[in-house]
A and B are shown apart, each in its own frame.
Chain A
Amino acid sequence: MFLIYCPYCEEHREEEEFHPKGQAHIARPADPEACSDKEWGDYLFFRDNPRGIHHELWVHAVGCRKFFNVTRNTVSYEILESYRVGEQPRFTAEHPEGRPVETVAAENVTAKAEVVERQEGVKA
């Protein structure tokens, strides 16, 4: 049984409250109409399936019902971190011991600023 930390509820809860939703960080093609069959097929059907560190989307189905990301080892099943949608992972295949917290925090601040900018763009 996993104990999963929900970054929105800020609590560890039992696996039963959550559903796994597949690979995280999949970007929808910006212009789907312009995709080749190859690009569109890759986007729809091809997923990372590593032995080792994997970034995945989970939903706190019977909790706050929010989606968030988890970094988990698919062999040992160890959960290395949970982080909000829009944020970047600390633990990656290249950095299994974790990148410095400050680097990740700085990235996330920039990412947030970009999102706000895009949303304001939409309003205008």
Chain B
Amino acid sequence: MKRLQTLKDDGGKAFVAYIMAGDGGLDRLRDQVEYLQGTGVTAIEIGIPFSDPVADGPVIEEAGNRALNEGVTLDKVLLEMKSWDFELKIPLIVMTYLNPVLRYGAERFAESCRDAGVSAVIIPDLPFEHQQLVAPYLKQAEITLIQLVTLTTTENRLHDILDAAEGFVYAVTVTGITGVRDELTEEVKEFMKTVRSKSPVPVYAGFGISKTEHIDLLRDDVDGFIVGSAIVKAFHDNKIEDIEPLIDAVTHSNPV
């Protein structure tokens, strides 16, 4: 995760790609990760399917349901990742809802993540005040727990959350769920500026980023972008090449 800070220090912008593990079968995951690595993304977020993904919009929810129908589980995803023998040059981040983690056991989860080469974890329904349930085990396994901040996060909370932030901060660009959006507001720009001015780690904008216009709007106010639904949809439609211009829009000016 250190390279994220280095990238920022060098003036580069990060592109984090989200994929739903097992959408189209778990055997696709490896190819997808290798492909994305080849396109030059900064990091990959691997989503674990969950029956009740309340933070997600229809694209990711449907992908999750397809994965569940394929019999994909947290355990299987981590085992699959552990088996990989190709060279991984970028950090892998696991994004999962809390319940599968609790069921699996928080300590065992942290250990399995470490064994699978996971660098960081995002749990959208684990708010700051309840992080003790999982955080100590992740720390033990040297895995970063990514903090989320949103447009509705109050000033005091923002302060506390940023204080604990490691790796990068996930700044949610919409008051809503994940999904492909047409427009982002000026309010978002102001919010990103505020978060960035206070954050000790790079700030990445996520939720609803699906077009180069979104990236142009926020480029100067964030350190990177997280793109989910657009990639999940492109993989599902077998049109992943269509996403490359978006990746390039973020990374093409990066120092090498």
Q: Do A and B bind each other?
A: no
List residues of B whose CB falls within 8 A of some A CB. Answer: none
